[in-house]
Structure 1
Amino acid sequence: MLRPRLLLAAFSLLLCCAGALAQGQPAPVRFLLTFDDGPAAAINDNPTGHILDVLARKHIKAVFFTQTRAWHGGGTEMGRFLIRREHGEGHVVALHSATTFHSNHRFMSREKLDATMRLGVDDLIAETGVAPKLVRPPFWAYDATTLASYRAHGLHMLLTDLNANDGKIYGINFSWHKRSNMLTHLAETRQRWAAGAMASVDGYTPVVVTFHDVNTYTARHIEEYIDILLDVARELNVPLADKPFYDNRDELERAALAATISNPDAKPQLPGLWNWLWQ
């Protein structure tokens, strides 16, 4: 008679311990890949197209912050085709800008910014049939006015946790510091994760990673970048989800929305010199 009771007690104790451990450690990490400034307009050897091919092979879904009217990108026939492809392949298509060039939202009047936001939202609805929910400001530059404009158009601002520092498109756009850069950024992010300062969604902690799909070097090395993320996570003993990257659009969008910023007084760490410049 005692043995079943002892087994039941032991099982209950194990459940309690497991619950305590679960409460004591933040949810495991999933990398949330994002790409800025695209799509690319090249007819041949298109970097955005190459990245989409790699993501498809690896069953990874990403967020693409698009420039819907860029003269060398979203404003072209190829650019619009790639926006439709991104949506059709299950990625989240978001807004970066709706201007001819990579214009700074913070330097626009509220009227001008509202006009470009309306254009961008309408452009993406026309190509995907879905209103975007996410926006990322060019140059990471925002203030209370830009956030108010985003909200007025149903958009939520997503910044980043890790940055590949691959934003240079022309000239010297390669990197000798891919791994060391990601290691440094993830080490900083790990501190916030361990302190419980990051949102968890569906049982996981999304860690936002930023690349540029118009960078030809990034396109050629995107598989290496993906391997580097996994490698530095192991080195830093960051617990990863069984699926370390998002593979479902709905889960991806929920995770991204949970990581957005709406308070203009918040002072998140921005990539590189932008943190010093804007804050």
Structure 2
Amino acid sequence: MRFFLLRLCAIFWAASCAIEAYADAPVVTPAPVRFILTFDDGPDGREKDNPTASILATLAENPTQKDIKAIFFVQTRSSEGGATACGQALLGREHAQGHVLALHDGSTLGHPNHCKLSDAVLEQSLNDGLADLMTIAGRPTTLLRPPYWAYNERTLATYARHGLAVLLTDISANDGKVWGYHGSPRRRSHMASEMAHVKERMQRSEIPGADGATPIVVTFHDTNDYTAEHMQEYLHMLVDEARRAGLTLAARPFYDDGATLERAALIRAHDVAHRADMVPAQWRWLYWLFG
């Protein structure tokens, strides 16, 4: 009986020490949020009412924050975009305006799933895309986002050999084309849900900081007319929903310098421990269903 009481006292003493240590532990406050805006699938090759051109204009001039810089994951040889005269001009304009050019795909295959490509075809796609972007930017490309968010150990190893870091996302605007319909009727509630998930990850210290900020990656599609028409609203919505979620925002919540933006993106690209959380939910379901 005496031994049992001694053990019970020891347990209570250890528990009280643990509680006291926990109470004295400093509370880690996440750094203020800055949004890394990213755009997939462009540039658009249309000569008239071009959504990529419209988005560039909105990023430069809008009521939320002027002169926002973004990362454009581009298809350099798409017959409907990068390979057209208009698309080439837009790639040059993105670079000239201080945005970051990154690779989505460099083939003429039309947004292929890299996991389905042979080694030789994938290598050719990367070589061509990187050469195209070198011609425009005059420097090596550092970032890639695979089409359909599809990757595996083979493709990741191939990207690494080319010096490419894979950047996925924290927030997907769900603005892509669905069954011929361009729109997002649940955009506000969806953004609120995505922001709540970001807050949970920040509270678990799962999102690394960069340059005194917490960089949150947000994904849109610059080939989408609806996105272009509502880009100003989306910018306001991101700020509004972050505040509603109780997140602290940086004084300038969007990146306004290409070098700082790219550095933050590279830090997030190496955030591999939670990579599954950085694939949009609908794609995670598709991969689970169809492998």
How far residue 159 of structure 1 moved from its aligned partner, in angstroms, is 0.3
Q: In the alignment, which residue of structure 1 is the partner of 2:228?
A: 219
* Residue 32 of structure 2 is aligned to residue 28 of structure 1: yes
Pairing 1:10-25 to 2, within 5 Å after superposition: 24-25=28-29
In structure 1, what is the Cα distance between the partners aligned to 2:25 and 2:174? Answer: 36
In structure 2, what is the Cα distance between the partners aligned to 1:210 and 1:112? Answer: 27
SS in 2 for 1:165: coil
Q: 40, 45, 55: which one pairs with 2:44?
A: 40
Q: In the alignment, which residue of structure 2 is the partner of 1:82?
A: 90
Q: In the alignment, which residue of structure 2 is the partner of 1:95?
A: 103
Q: In the alignment, which residue of structure 1 is the partner of 2:244?
A: 235
Q: Is the 8 A contact 2:207 2:271 kept in 1?
A: no
* Residue 196 of structure 2 is aligned to residue 187 of structure 1: yes
Q: In the alignment, which residue of structure 2 is the partner of 1:272?
A: 281
Deviations 1:1-20 (A, max 9, x none): xxxxxxxxxxxxxxxxxxx9
How far residue 260 of structure 1 moved from its aligned partner, in angstroms, is 0.6
Q: In the alignment, which residue of structure 2 is the partner of 1:14?
A: none
In structure 2, what is the Cα distance between the partners aligned to 1:31 and 1:161? Answer: 10
Amino acid at match of 2:33: V
In structure 2, what is the Cα distance between the partners aligned to 1:241 and 1:21? Answer: 26
Q: In the alignment, which residue of structure 1 is the partner of 2:81?
A: 73
Q: TM-score, normalised on structure 2?
A: 0.85
Amino acid at match of 1:67: Q
Q: Which runs of 5+ in 1 are unaligned?
A: 1-19
Q: Is the 8 A contact 1:147 1:264 kept in 2?
A: no
Pairing 1:85-164 to 2, within 5 Å after superposition: 85-100=93-108, 101-164=110-173
> CA RMSD for the aligned pairs?
1.9
In structure 2, what is the Cα distance between the partners aligned to 1:185 and 1:118? Answer: 35
Amino acid at match of 2:279: L
In structure 1, what is the Cα distance between the partners aligned to 2:41 and 2:156? Answer: 20
Larger CA deviation: 140-149 vs 107-116: 107-116
In structure 2, what is the Cα distance between the partners aligned to 1:38 and 1:22? Answer: 45
SS in 2 for 1:93: strand
Q: Is the 8 A contact 1:157 1:262 kept in 2?
A: no
What is the number of equivalent residue pairs in this alignment? 260
In structure 1, what is the Cα distance between the partners aligned to 2:119 and 2:233? Answer: 41
How far residue 22 of structure 1 moved from its aligned partner, in angstroms, is 8.6
Q: 244, 262, 278: which one pairs with 1:253?
A: 262
SS in 2 for 1:121: helix
In structure 1, what is the Cα distance between the partners aligned to 2:201 and 2:274? Answer: 19
Larger CA deviation: 70-79 vs 264-273: 264-273
Amino acid at match of 2:210: V
Q: In the alignment, which residue of structure 2 is the partner of 1:11?
A: none
Deviations 1:16-48 (A, max 9, x none): xxxx99962111110110000000001111100
Q: 209, 216, 235: which one pairs with 1:207?
A: 216
In structure 2, what is the Cα distance between the partners aligned to 1:22 and 1:252? Answer: 30
Q: In the alignment, which residue of structure 1 is the partner of 2:67?
A: 59
How far residue 262 of structure 1 moved from its aligned partner, in angstroms, is 7.6
SS in 2 for 1:268: helix
SS in 1 for 2:46: coil
In structure 2, what is the Cα distance between the partners aligned to 1:265 and 1:196? Answer: 11
How far residue 59 of structure 1 moved from its aligned partner, in angstroms, is 1.2
Amino acid at match of 1:141: A
Q: Is the 8 A contact 2:168 2:275 kept in 1?
A: no
